[in-house]
Amino acid sequence: MRHIDRSLHRQVPRVLLELAESGNCRLMSGFPNAHTYAVTTHVGDYAAISDAFARLFAWIADNGFVSDGPPGDVYWDDPAVVPASELITVCYQPVRRA
C-alpha cells in the first residue's frame, strides 16, 4: 500500500484517497515543472469557474504576460459535502513575459 499524505489538503474527497490507496491513481501536491504562474482562487459554484478563468486571462494580458502551457485547476472541496456557494477552486495558468 502506498503512503498518502493526508495533510496536503484541507479536504481530499474520500473516493480520491481510496483510488490512490488502491494504486488506481496518484495524488500529487504542488505544480509540475518550474514555471511562473498566474493564480486566482474562485469561491463558489463550479458553474462560474469559467468566469474566474476569464478574469485570470484578462489579468495576464493586461500585465504583459502570455500563456506558457495548459491551464489547470485544483478543487479543494467535495461538492457532496460543501455548499456550492463555499466551494474553493484554485485556477492557474503558466505564464511568461510577452
30-62, pLDDT tens digit by residue? 655 667 889 999 999 999 999 999 999 999 999
| Stretch 82-98: mean pLDDT | 92
Instruction: Report the share of the chain in percent with pLDDT over 90.
Output: 53
In the prediction, which pLDDT does 85 show? 94
Residues 53 and 79 in one domain: yes
Residues 51 and 70 in one domain: yes
Instruction: Tell me how far apart the alpha carbons of residues 36 and 67 are, in angstroms, rounded to a whole number.
Output: 10
Residues 20 and 48 in one domain: no
CATH of the domain at 59: 3.20.80.10
> What confidence category does residue 27 fall into, taking pLDDT thresholds of 50, 70 and 90?
low
Residues 9 and 57 in one domain: no
Residues 23 and 67 in one domain: no
The total of structural domains in the chain comes to 2
Instruction: Tell me how far apart the alpha carbons of residues 27 and 13 are, in angstroms, rounded to a whole number.
Output: 11
Q: What residues make up the domain containing 89? A: 35-97
With a CB cutoff of 8 Å and minimum separation 6, the contacts of 43 are 85, 86, 87, 88, 89
